[in-house]
Amino acid sequence: MSPRDTSVAGDWSIRGRAWRLTRPLARFLRSRKSETAPPWDVRANLASGPLPSDLSGRLAVVTGAAQGIGLGIARRMAAAGARVLAVDKNAEALTAAFPGGECIPIFADLSLDADQLADRLVRDHGPIELIVNNVGIETRHRFLDLEPEDFDLVFNTNLRGPWFFTRRLVQALLSVHRNGAIIFISSVHDTFIRLSPHYSASKAAVSMLARELAKELAPHGIRVNVISPGWIFRPKGPEDRPDPSLARWIVPLGQPGKPDDIARMAVVLLSDEWSGYMTGANVRVDGGQTLLTWST
Ligand SMILES: NC(=O)c1ccc[n+]([C@@H]2O[C@H](COP(=O)([O-])OP(=O)(O)OC[C@H]3O[C@@H](n4cnc5c(N)ncnc54)[C@H](O)[C@@H]3O)[C@@H](O)[C@H]2O)c1
């Protein structure tokens, strides 16, 4: 019996009686939770809460949508009513990603000719009001090891591609005087080191680009925000689990995020109803990881 129990054991006041009545219920609920959710996933029971639904009928694009965070965002946006163009360079994964036709798959490499891709999307589908720049890659190099080819690959994919893709899409949107919302998926490593300087520097540039755009496009009714994820776990198979001791060590909430944690925030930030007064924000979705400055 805990000291707290002792203090109410002989207590027949309302407080003491309430404590004795609710304690078994609390125990029962705790045991049910551990039966239904895997131990690392304390949020599993929250997964079906209400979400904004005012994306209905809006045309949207999500890049890097065949897997991971991009796939999560594309699915959530489609569920919120948007007509989603799901862009990815991996044709096989893209085809498998939307078996029910929830999103329109677009096979393309964003690092090659972003202008041409944007023109094609507008020509085939119309001006795009909701833009999610999710594509991002990393090569594991330190500063002294990095060759110019890998530098160019990472910067072309993470910065140059999204930059000119967005520019062209926004030009098309402005030509029809429509408003919109844009999200860039950056990273907590836009601020905190990763020991992968080309990746961190590209993400810092993406976050700053978004702030510049937020100011420039605000008079046109286009909001621009950033989501900076921390560690987002993407299982490689049904049995794949994150290392629990690592998770406890580097994440205050004790577990890595899931793609859907980012997707939910994306839908909120795209919704004028839920975040119509937000632009230029950089929202960290990281389980508190960046509270610990050594968690790089
Ligand atoms: N996963 C994490 O822990 C994490 C943390 C912080 C930030 N991020 C950022 O989130 C974004 C998504 O990350 P993820 O982990 O889901 O990535 P992922 O590697 O799981 O998926 C990326 C998708 O983008 C596609 N892609 C890559 N290059 C492309 C190109 N040039 N053109 C078209 N498609 C391309 C890939 O085929 C893949 O389907 C990235 O910008 C990443 O930097 C991820």
Atom of ligand 1 nearest to the CA of 112: 31
The pLDDT of residue 106: 98
Q: Is the CB of 137 under 6 A from ligand 1?
A: yes
Q: Which two tokens stand for residue 265?
A: 């925030």
Q: State the chain's maximal CA–CA distance in angstroms.
A: 77
| 203 found inside a domain | yes
Q: Is the CB of 266 under 6 A from ligand 1?
A: no
Distance CA 84, CA 102 (A): 8
The pLDDT of residue 1: 36
Instruction: Give a three-class secondary structure readout of 39-63.
Output: CCCCCHHHCCCCCCCCCCCCEEEEE
Question: What is the secondary structure of 99-154 as a DSSP string?
Answer: TT--SEEEE--TTT-HHHHHHHHHHHH---SEEEE---------TTT--HHHHHHH
Cα-based distances in Å from 186 to 17, 54, 57, 193, 210:
52, 25, 27, 14, 10
Q: Is the CB of 40 under 6 A from ligand 1?
A: no
- Name the 3-class secondary structure at 182: strand
Q: Which of 279, 292, 182, 183 is nearest to 230 (CA)?
A: 292
Q: What is the residue range of 191's domain? A: 58-291
Say if residues 262 and 71 touch (Cβ distance below 8 Å): no
| 2 found inside a domain | no
Q: Is the CB of 86 under 6 A from ligand 1?
A: no
Question: Which CATH number do you get for residue 265?
Answer: 3.40.50.720
How far, in Å, from the CA of 248 to the mean position of ligand 1?
24
Report the 10 Å Cβ neighbour count for 175. Answer: 10
The pLDDT of residue 21: 60
How far, in Å, from the CA of 64 to the mean position of ligand 1?
6
| 84 found inside a domain | yes
Q: Is the CB of 196 under 6 A from ligand 1?
A: no
Give 184's strand partners: 133, 226
Q: Is the CB of 94 under 6 A from ligand 1?
A: no
| 160 found inside a domain | yes
Mutate to test the pocket of ligand 1, among 134, 198, 289 (most ligand atoms within 8 A of CB): 134
Distance CA 223, CA 96 (A): 32
Report mean pLDDT in 10-residue bins for the chain, 296 residues: 43 60 54 46 55 86 98 97 98 96 97 96 98 98 98 98 98 97 98 96 98 98 98 92 93 96 97 96 97 67
How far, in Å, from the CA of 71 to the mean position of ligand 1?
10
The pLDDT of residue 54: 81
Q: Which two tokens stand for residue 253?
A: 């909430």
The pLDDT of residue 47: 52
Distance CA 42, CA 196 (A): 31
Q: Which of 183, 222, 186 is nearest to 207 (CA)?
A: 186
| 171 found inside a domain | yes
The pLDDT of residue 71: 98
The pLDDT of residue 75: 97
Distance CA 203, CA 226 (A): 11
Choosing from 77, 199, 266, 286, which is the catalytic residue? 199
Mutate to test the pocket of ligand 1, among 89, 133, 189 (most ligand atoms within 8 A of CB): 89
If you take atom 37 of ligand 1, which residue's CA is the nearest one? 90
How far, in Å, from the CA of 7 to the mean position of ligand 1?
54
Say if residues 199 and 142 touch (Cβ distance below 8 Å): no
E strand spans, the chain:
59-63, 83-88, 104-107, 130-133, 180-185, 222-229, 282-285
User: What is the 8-class DSSP label of residue 236?
Assistant: S
Q: Is the CB of 88 under 6 A from ligand 1?
A: yes
| 163 found inside a domain | yes
Q: Is the CB of 67 under 6 A from ligand 1?
A: yes
Query: How many domains is the chain built from?
Result: 1
Does 277 participate in catalysis according to the annotation? no
How far, in Å, from the CA of 253 to the mean position of ligand 1?
23
| 213 found inside a domain | yes
| 236 found inside a domain | yes
